[in-house]
């Protein structure tokens, strides 16, 4: 009993957070589902007898049929829907994660600096955020894509570069609250440089809301990408994504419902799993939770 208490006492903050996360069954279920979907999207196409752009002329827009080798059916061009969903999952997840990472890096940096420095610097930085808020979001992304080309890597940066505004406001609010706490005041009294205070005291204690918001940004970015692809500015043929597949399925929903159902189910499972995992991470990373 004494050894167990000693191990709990010397456990690192990361260890405490991991222990709390493991006790959250909903969060662990979400993580498991996300892992399964990601693994299926990464390795699944390698084991499929069909390529992304293979056309089966004998099975044009046919319903799911294991006997014909198309368990999820085919699209209007006779391409296997299962392999297209898996490859599309690679693209959608990559876009969501990369764009969210860009949004987190910009938003956390901007919000932490504005909230900690305060005064005129904070006023100018947040006025810049207000100006960007006034611009139509999708118009700004479309403008970037038109001027710099329809490259998929640019799409990652463009979506992330316009998704950081809410993150900046959240982190600014957290920073303004944290900088008045005793441990931050003690660090300032000891002469700790502001950058070190931000990196070691402010940002780690604001990680809970940041991670939750990041998990919500991933599905949001995936949906924005689908809209851009629908306009012809996102993912281009022969490549595909969940957004593209859902858009295609919606057009033929009455005659070929499987083209909408399967990609929508994968996207829905991903969204719920991200929300469950985000809630679990928020609770696990809450420094006020000492359990």
CA–CA separation, 165 and 167 (whole Å)? 5
Residues in the chain with pLDDT values less than 70: 1-16, 67-68, 137-138, 145, 148-152, 230-232, 285-291
Nearest to 141 by CA among 52, 246, 47, 221: 221
Q: What is the predicted pLDDT for the residue at 200?
A: 84
Q: What is the predicted pLDDT for the residue at 14?
A: 65
Q: What is the predicted pLDDT for the residue at 64?
A: 86
241-271: buried (b, 16+ CB within 10 Å) or exposed (e) per residue? bbbbbbbbbeeeeeebebbbbbbeebbeebb
Locate tokens 């005041």: which residue? 185
- CATH number for the domain whose boundaries are 30-44+72-284: 1.10.3720.10
Q: What is the predicted pLDDT for the residue at 36?
A: 94
Q: How far is CA 47 from CA 41, 64, 263, in A?
A: 11, 18, 19
Q: What is the predicted pLDDT for the residue at 33?
A: 92
- Contact yes or no for 165/103 (Cβ under 8 A): no
The 10s digit of each residue's pLDDT in 13-26 is 666 677 777 787 88
Q: What is the predicted pLDDT for the residue at 35?
A: 92
Locate tokens 């969501």: which residue? 96
Domain spans in the chain, listed from the N-terminal domain onward: 30-44+72-284
Angle at 211 between CA 205 and CA 217, to 5 degrees: 145
Helices (H), the chain: 2-10, 13-23, 25-43, 81-117, 119-134, 137-148, 152-161, 165-178, 182-189, 194-197, 203-205, 207-230, 242-251, 258-284
The 10s digit of each residue's pLDDT in 76-113 is 888 888 899 999 898 888 888 888 888 889 999 999 99
């Amino acid at each position: 009993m004494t050894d167990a208490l000693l191990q709990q006492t010397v456990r690192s903050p990361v260890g405490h957070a991991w222990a709390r996360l493991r006790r959250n069954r909903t969060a662990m279920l979400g993580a498991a589902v996300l892992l399964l979907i990601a693994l299926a999207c990464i390795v699944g196409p390698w084991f499929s007898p069909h390529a992304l752009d293979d056309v089966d002329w004998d099975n044009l827009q046919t319903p799911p049929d294991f006997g014909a080798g198309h368990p999820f059916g085919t699209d209007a061009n006779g391409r296997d829907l299962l392999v297209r969903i898996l490859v599309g999952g690679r693209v959608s997840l990559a876009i969501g994660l990369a764009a969210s990472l860009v949004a987190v890096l910009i938003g956390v940096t901007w919000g932490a600096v504005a909230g900690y420095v305060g005064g005129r610097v904070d006023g100018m930085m947040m006025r810049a955020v207000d100006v960007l808020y006034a611009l139509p979001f999708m118009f700004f992304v479309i403008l970037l894509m038109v001027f710099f080309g329809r490259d998929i890597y640019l799409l990652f940066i463009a979506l992330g570069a316009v998704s950081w505004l809410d993150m900046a406001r959240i982190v600014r609010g957290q920073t303004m609250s944290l900088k008045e706490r005793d441990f931050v005041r003690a660090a300032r009294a000891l002469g700790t440089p502001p950058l070190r205070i931000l990196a070691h005291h402010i940002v780690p204690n604001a990680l809970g809301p940041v991670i939750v918001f990041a998990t919500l940004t991933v599905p949001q970015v995936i949906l924005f990408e689908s809209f851009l692809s629908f306009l012809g500015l996102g993912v281009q043929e022969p490549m595909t994504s969940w957004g593209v597949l859902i858009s295609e399925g919606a057009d033929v929903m009455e005659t070929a419902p499987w083209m909408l159902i399967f990609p929508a189910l994968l996207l829905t499972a991903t969204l719920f799993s991200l929300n469950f995992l985000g809630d679990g991470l928020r609770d696990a990373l809450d420094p006020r939770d000492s359990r």
